[in-house]
Amino acid sequence: MILDLLKRLSEKTDSKIVFLIFDGLGGLDTGKGTALEVAKTPNLDRLAAEGTVGFADPILPGITPGSGPAHLALFGYNPLQYEIGRGILSALGVGFEIKAGDVAARVNFATIDKNGLVTDRRAGRIPTETCVRLCDKLRQISLEGVEVFVQPEKEHRAAVVFRGQGLSGQVCDTDPQRTGAKPIVPRATTDNPAAIRTAKIVEQFLHRAFEVLKDDHPANAILMRGFDSFEALPTMQEIYKLNPAAIATYPMYKGVARLVGMTVLDAGETPETEFDCLEKHWNEYDFFYVHIKKTDSYGEDGNFEGRVHVLEEVDALVPRLVALKPSTILVTGDHSTPSPMKAHSFHPVPVLIHSPLARRDPAKVFGETACMTGGLGRVPMEYLMSLALAHSGKLQKYGA
Amino acid sequence: MILDLLKRLSEKTDSKIVFLIFDGLGGLDTGKGTALEVAKTPNLDRLAAEGTVGFADPILPGITPGSGPAHLALFGYNPLQYEIGRGILSALGVGFEIKAGDVAARVNFATIDKNGLVTDRRAGRIPTETCVRLCDKLRQISLEGVEVFVQPEKEHRAAVVFRGQGLSGQVCDTDPQRTGAKPIVPRATTDNPAAIRTAKIVEQFLHRAFEVLKDDHPANAILMRGFDSFEALPTMQEIYKLNPAAIATYPMYKGVARLVGMTVLDAGETPETEFDCLEKHWNEYDFFYVHIKKTDSYGEDGNFEGRVHVLEEVDALVPRLVALKPSTILVTGDHSTPSPMKAHSFHPVPVLIHSPLARRDPAKVFGETACMTGGLGRVPMEYLMSLALAHSGKLQKYGA
């Protein structure tokens, strides 16, 4: 709905937008304040004092998002309307360039006994090097009419992508989810001919895979799950008339950015190299997604001090961003990851919008408590993109 | 939409949720504060200080709800998608156990003259005892293929329920809405065969009713309106994996709770007996809806002091609730009933969420003004259920 509207109303201008995304930004107060409140962030605080702050719900109030749907919401795509399944995210996570029509699934290397019964669903958690070597073996499998891509992940995990005409993700898992059972034969979950054809292709692939792996005990089998196909998303170019670039250090975020049409830049490995990248490419794009991963990783580890440290580290770089004079800087997270919970959470995410058009509010710092007094209120995350476009003068009036 | 999502994401856990609902909770400041602000409620204030507060809109901003839709919103059902018509609410209000497929209508006893023209649409507001006696007479009517239930309400009002296969609520009112006119012949409002059949059944019922009542002047006729059928709602068990119980003193609230799958407990007649009931059944359920009626009744009467008194009376009981250690206590109303307005109003309703996972906010008391600084912001009431589930750790992550 909002995308149809934005497609009508958006126009190309010279103004530039930067989304500075701290993964897992929202936190909980454990007595002394949240990580964002405890961190010394004078530069973000200045932006908050000059701008508008508030909260965003990635999906809906109370719903904890995974990174995929949360990022779609950030980029303005309703995360319930546009779903990215597990198989696709796995493929993106290993840096695979997924294309429309591809069908992806997650793979576990597993152990089967002489009777074909699964004895270990994770093949004793084989080392990643073994996984890489076995994926190379699986790549030798060629099937008629489809390309097969096999990508190692960590330990016993890998991703498989099938590419060809008329494939469907509506195929059941082959993982029996317990030991002592045979792997499940892949079946179409609908009577759609594409699903039936895909199930047959998967069955052929598995047949060949079991042959190829038969002497590789404990990894003498594979189990597949989370089949899904990828339908192309409308791009940010089409909808927003933007020329967008992604600056991120982790494959999955680069992958999601590519799905919505961003050019993925070489961002190095640290926030500092990410800001170097931003400066280097400043003149080439008009939208930059800058992703800071570690706020989430430390949140998942329950490492409050780690979160504080990353926030301070990035805050010190913020003057370099301000010096580039973007028309709108939007700072937020894709979701909350409070360190006391050691997990993604349902809490709405703090948002800061800095722009000459931002309506000033009483908030003088960037933190969860200050955001409660903010001028933005609490909005669905999918509207942050329209707000950023509006604050950069990139949207025409609706109606006369 | 949210219900489909919650059905996917909810999971059964040991944690317990209590909804403490003050009917008509929101008020207006008449100089000294609202009733909730004037009432001394140290226990609710403590919960507010430890929790998150804010506002909920039962339907949409600006829309004043009836009790039916407001309660559906409280329980997480979009009140515009799931409608409970007047006939059904009337039947629930007299304690009738409505079933899926039933068609209910409201009845007025009325006076007609020799020519069959309505001379009084309320039969001189006959006493309730007369109404009860006449309803007994109407119960003698038996029709082929349907059961008919007749339930007295107050004075000239009653409810009729038709139960049988293939009935429809698409039947026009028989009340001409003015005197000097004949009662309208019931007609189907669509060409749906079930509606045509139902209209014929209603016509037979009216024919017999007018015979039975012909000597009961001034109540020698009945007028029917608000026909509607009841389609079963998805239950809280199905959607939320909860085992829910209702603690309420008025039939209509018990009825609505039953519609969404709650077990209705014997709650007595006062807030104190309701809290006794809560303690007695604490181990048997994981969701409790505790309904306090009098805040609304006093609001409708314009009795500000009465509202203050009820709030203080219940606040004194709150430590008994806290002592049970629910994982989430959610305190709110179904709608606002400001005593200066003597009616339900459109104002958003104060909400308090108390849970170890609640994000603390600056609010130190529970009141309308404090709620304006709350961490919850302003949310649609239909999301209070997802928020409560989230605060009790009962929802899985959406997407990966």
- Chain A residue with minimum CA distance to B1: A80
Backbone angles phi, psi at B196, to 5 degrees: -65, -45
Mean pLDDT confidence for B162-191: 95
**Would the pLDDT of B1 be above 80?**
no
Give yes or no for a contact between A61 and B387, defined as CB atoms under 8 angstroms apart: yes
Question: Angle, nearest 10°, between helix axes A304-315 and A42-50?
Answer: 70
First-to-last C-alpha distance (Å) of chain B:
20
Contacts of B374 in chain A (CB under 8 A): 372
**Residue in chain B lying closest to A65 (CA):** B398
Q: Nearest by CB to A86, which of B383, B391, B400? A: B400
Question: Given B5, B360, B373, which is nearest A80 (Cβ)?
Answer: B5
pLDDT digits (tens, 9 = 90+) for A27-54: 999 889 999 999 999 999 999 999 999 9
Superfamily covering domain A2-82+234-391: Alkaline Phosphatase, subunit A (3.40.720.10)
Contact at CB, B390 and A63, closer than 8 angstroms: yes
Tokens of residue B170, six digits: 């698409």
Contacts of A345 in chain B (CB under 8 A): 357
Mutant choice from A37, A83, A372 vs B, greatest count of B C-beta within 10 A: A372
What is the CA angle B61-B170-B70, rounded to 5?
25
Nearest CB among A29, A60, A66 relative to B399 is that of A66
Tell me if B164 sits within 8 A of B145, measured CB to CB. yes
Q: Which CATH number fits domain B88-229: 3.30.70, 2.60.120, 1.10.10, 2.40.50?
A: 3.30.70
CB contact under 8 A, A80 and B390: no
CB contact under 8 A, B357 and A378: no
> Which residues of chain B does A69 touch, with a Cβ-Cβ cutoff of 8 Å?
398-399
Partnered with residue A379 across adjacent β-strands are A56
Q: What's the DSSP call for residue A100?
A: T
Per-residue confidence in pLDDT tens, chain A, 400 aa: 799 999 999 999 999 999 999 999 999 998 899 999 999 999 999 999 999 999 999 999 999 999 999 999 999 999 999 988 878 888 888 888 889 899 999 999 999 999 999 999 999 999 999 999 999 999 999 999 999 999 998 899 999 999 999 999 999 999 999 999 999 999 999 999 999 999 999 999 999 999 999 999 999 999 999 898 988 899 999 999 999 999 999 988 999 999 999 999 999 999 999 999 999 999 999 999 999 999 999 999 999 999 999 999 999 999 999 999 999 999 999 999 999 999 999 999 999 999 999 999 999 999 999 999 999 999 999 999 999 999 999 999 999 8
d(CA A214, CA B280): 61
Q: The tokens of B283 are what?
A: 């181990």
The Cα A66–Cα A139 span in angstroms is: 30
d(CA B51, CA B73): 22
ipTM: 0.89
Tokens of A356: 């000459």
Task: Judge whether B9 is closer than 8 Å to chain A, CB to CB.
Answer: yes
Q: Is B114 on the interface with A (CB under 8 A)?
A: no
**B8 touching A (Cβ < 8 Å):** no
Gyration radius of chain B over CA positions: 23
Which residue among A28, A66, A70 places its CB closest to the CB of B359? A28
What residue has token string 């440290």? A309
Is B3 in CB contact (< 8 Å) with chain A?
no
Alpha carbon distance B87, B90 (integer Å): 5
A contact residues 37-66, partner B, Cβ 8 Å cutoff: 54-55, 59-66
**Beta partners for B26?**
B336
What is the DSSP annotation of B183-215? PPPP-BSSS-HHHHHHHHHHHHHHHHHHHHHTT
Q: What is the pLDDT of residues B204-239, one digit of tens each?
A: 999 999 999 999 999 999 999 999 998 889 999 999
The reply to whether residue B1 touches residue A377, judged by beta carbons under 8 angstroms, is no
Q: Where are the domains of chain A?
A: 2-82+234-391, 88-229
> Do the strands B287-292 and B17-22 form a parallel or antiparallel pair, or are they unpaired?
parallel
| Separation between Cα atoms, residue A58 and residue B152, nearest integer Å | 50
